[in-house]
Chains A and B, each alone.
Chain A
Amino acid sequence: MNRLSLRVRLIGLIALVFLLGSTVLTVAAWAYARIAADRAYDRLLIGAALQIAGTVSVEEGQAVVDPPISAFAMLGLAEGDSIFYKVEAEGSRLLTGYADLDVPGGPVTAEPVLADGAYRGRAIRLVTLGRYLTDTSSPGWAKVTVAQTRSARSNLAFSLTMQALKMLVVLGFLILVAVLLAVHLAFLPLSHLGHVIRARDPNDLRPLNVPVPSEVQGLVNAVDRFMALLAARIQFMQRFIADAAHQIRTPLTALNSQLDLLRSEPLPAAQARHLERIQIRADELSRLANQLLDHAMVVHRGTLIAPEPVDLVHLARRRLGEIALLPLDRPVNLSLDIEGEPALVMGDRVLLGEALSNVLHNALLHGARSELRVTVGTRGGQARITVSDDGPGIPEPLWSAVREPFHARQDGRPGAGLGLSIVVDALRAHGGELLFQHEPGRAFTVILSLPARLP
């Protein structure tokens, strides 16, 4: 039941209510139609009875009756019905008509009395009325009873009911269309909401700014509250990590100076080798702590961007200059090309600089064998910094994984794998993205793409 679509449930429920309602209405219409048909044909019956009663008179002290042709012609208006009648004088003395017609008892007056009955196995409608005769030997009421079978009434009631039923069917069709339309419209905000949530950046935990009907507002509020809790939680964790990294840096610095002191002393070869390894691990630890801090910084700044114009050429030149100072175990040729229009973006200079530094670091430390080329330019409204190297590059299956923080490194080399995720976050905060390009046998290219600032 719970799995049934709301649409099906709503339509089913409405159909059920409508069917029950229609049944009740049809029965009611039939009952009403019967009453209406009875009313219509009862007039004929009463009219005919009055006409016959009008001919009841007294001749030579005897009650006589002369049923007029017009009375029967009037009854003939109920096409197809048989006519039974009976006229009795005071004391139930039969004057004319069907002797075995059962007349309902009760006092007779001039007021017509209608009743249902049966005659010779057929349902009939009777009217009885009286005419008081004074100048007979025994004054009293003459009783006129006229009855008719019900087929004209049934036909009329049936056709009236069918008319009502036809209207109900049309109404039902209209209701179905209205319900389908209403359900569709009612669910539009929900599907729109779903669409908005699906399309949302996973890191965007701001309240949903979607206008919805009041019924859905509760759901939106719940989602917003949940996202706010989540955001607070994440913020707390990030601050915790940043604090932790910061706290770790101080003992690390102390550790490093201790290591320096140790290295300045002559040590046996085996111990020197151990010291060397400790030094490497300590460096790794420092880098990790720095990256964690960087990441926290990026996340922090990303949420608080105060955009200013940033010249990407200038940025690239500076960061490339910094990179050039890094000690390397091999000669690498660095170059910077500028293509096309000046590459200006609106953004946070530090954040973008950190992002670029990370990319350059990565390329230099893990990629470039002998060549690292940086190109800056604007094309099609997008400002781009491309970083190409002649290294092995990142295998394509890992392209999406490396965008995530703390991804498991496949190459077994040291590092927390935070570098590119910092880049991704920084670029995302600017509405940009990180792309990879690899032509087999040729250079591996990382592209930082940002919306260009309109001149």
Chain B
Amino acid sequence: MLTFLAGVMAARAEGPPVVFFPASTAPSLVLDIAAATDLVVIEPLIRDFQTLHPEIAIRYRDFQTTDLFSLLQRSCAGDGRADLALSSAVDELVKLANDGCALAHTSPGVDALPSFARWRNEVIGVTYEPAVIVYNRLLVPPGEVPHSRAALIDLLRTQPKAYDGLIGSYDIERAAVGYLLASFDAENSTIFGRLLEAFGRSHLRELPRSADLLAELADGKLKIAYNVLGSYAYRALLAGAPIGIVLPRDYVLVLRRGAMIPKNSAQPRLAAAFIDYLLSPRGQATASARAFYFTPDGPLPRGVEGTSRLSAGDSVRSIPVGPELLAVQDRARRKRFLGLWRQALGKPLAD
């Protein structure tokens, strides 16, 4: 659908991919976005933003979350710079904001967000992304599709052979989103320990990126993936992958991707304009049609199984954009959690 690519892809060996979206008018202003968000997801939004602001060029750098975190930490200390940070590892953004590395941005759009979707107007939740169970439609018979965590546990207990080594989830040591989602699973679910045990028995495959999980699902190397971000999964579904998407009935974790204007942003006004665009009705419409697909109050995208509306039930557990995430960032807690995780999965304790 994006047949023309005005940007220049510069694949450098040591750095992240950098894409430049030039402005259509000269002279132009450059907004430097440092993100942990796939380019294909964000590109429709950037282009739509540029039709509204043709004078703004955008330099887009797509990092791994850990790289983005260290970039932003260095930038906070005065080394390096980004004008706007966009990350699914929203706990890292909260930690940065807590340490005084962010500028606040107040606008009607930001104020309209629920209080748990923003912190101090410094970290702003700009998306709405449920964590879903994804399965391969060709390999999992309809009767076996798990619609809740309990059903997944039962499935792995009753059919240990059929799913052994074919269950996947994030590698929570390397994927910040995976760790964040797992942390809140542990908070929200009484059966999380049993789920982990079941995963351990089935020899859970841990992969660092959503794309890897989705690719293996499509290839049949995985039958079921747990806690995949719905936005990526639905994009794969639209692209024709033979997968099905389930919103767990017991509860749905919803992650809000965070936007933050770093303290040393050279273009805080442009960054604020981009945030306001993402929160605007037009930005939300574009996001729901072509970028993230899920919205807080819109209908579910076609083909997603589970509850009919995400906002309706009590089943939604939003991951708050707030100081709670500092606990997730806590070193001791992380070490302990990873230890429990490894133990449950029957892996050797690393040190």
Contacts and interface: CB of A to CB of B under 8 A. Distances in A.
Given A82-B99, A96-B332, A120-B100, A72 B120 contact: no
**A contacts with B: majority SS:** mixed
A302 interface: no
Given A95-B332, A96-B333, A68 B100 contact: no
B331 interface: yes
A75 B324 CA distance: 9
A79 interface: yes
A66 B324 contact: no
A429 interface: no
Interface residues of A, number: 22
Contacts of A73: 320, 322-324
B323 A75 contact: yes
Interface in B304-344: 320, 322-328, 330-333, 336
B332 A83 contact: no
B98 interface: yes
Given A79-B120, A120-B100, A122-B100, A65 B332 contact: yes
A199 interface: no
A67 interface: yes
Contacts of B120: 79-80
B93 to A, nearest CB: 14
A256 B330 CA distance: 136
Contacts of A65: 332-333
B100 A97 contact: no
B14 interface: no
A67 B323 contact: no
Q: Of B100, B183, B327, which is in contact with the most chain A CB atoms at under 10 Å from its CB?
A: B327
A122 B101 CA distance: 13
A83 B98 contact: yes
Nearest to B326: A72
Interface in A77-98: 79-80, 82-84, 87, 95-97
Contacts of A175: none
Contacts, number: 54
Contacts of B79: none
Interface string A40-71: 00000000000000000000000011111101
Contacts of A79: 120
Contact of B331 (A69, A83, A96): A96
A76 interface: yes
A76 B327 CA distance: 12
A271 to B, nearest CB: 125
B297 interface: no
B336 A64 contact: yes
Given A76-B322, A96-B333, A69 B100 contact: no
A40 B316 CA distance: 32
A79 B326 CA distance: 14
Given A76-B322, A82-B98, A120-B100, A71 B332 contact: no
Given A79-B120, A80-B120, A69 B328 contact: yes
B332 A69 contact: no
A76 B98 CA distance: 11
Contacts of A82: 97-100
B330 A96 contact: yes
Interface in A404-421: none
A96 B120 CA distance: 24
A121 to B, nearest CB: 9
A66 B323 contact: no
B330 A67 contact: yes
A69 B324 contact: yes
A66 B98 contact: no
Contacts of A80: 120
Nearest to B330: A67
Contact of B324 (A72, A87, A95, A120): A72
A43 to B, nearest CB: 16
B327 A71 contact: yes
Contacts of A76: 119, 322-324
A247 B36 CA distance: 131
Nearest to B336: A66
Contacts of B320: 73
A80 B106 CA distance: 13
Interface of B: 97-100, 119-120, 183, 187, 320, 322-328, 330-333, 336
Interface of A: 64-69, 71-73, 75-76, 79-80, 82-84, 87, 95-97, 120, 122
Closest 7 pairs (CB-CB, A-B): A96-B332, A76-B323, A69-B327, A72-B323, A72-B327, A73-B324, A82-B98
Given A67-B330, A83-B326, 20 more contacts: A65-B332, A66-B332, A67-B333, A69-B187, A69-B327, A69-B328, A71-B327, A72-B322, A72-B326, A73-B320, A73-B322, A73-B324, A75-B323, A76-B119, A79-B120, A80-B120, A82-B100, A96-B331, A96-B332, A97-B331
21 contacts: A64-B332, A65-B333, A67-B330, A67-B333, A69-B187, A72-B322, A72-B325, A72-B326, A72-B327, A73-B320, A73-B322, A76-B322, A79-B120, A80-B120, A82-B97, A82-B99, A83-B326, A87-B332, A95-B332, A120-B99, A120-B100
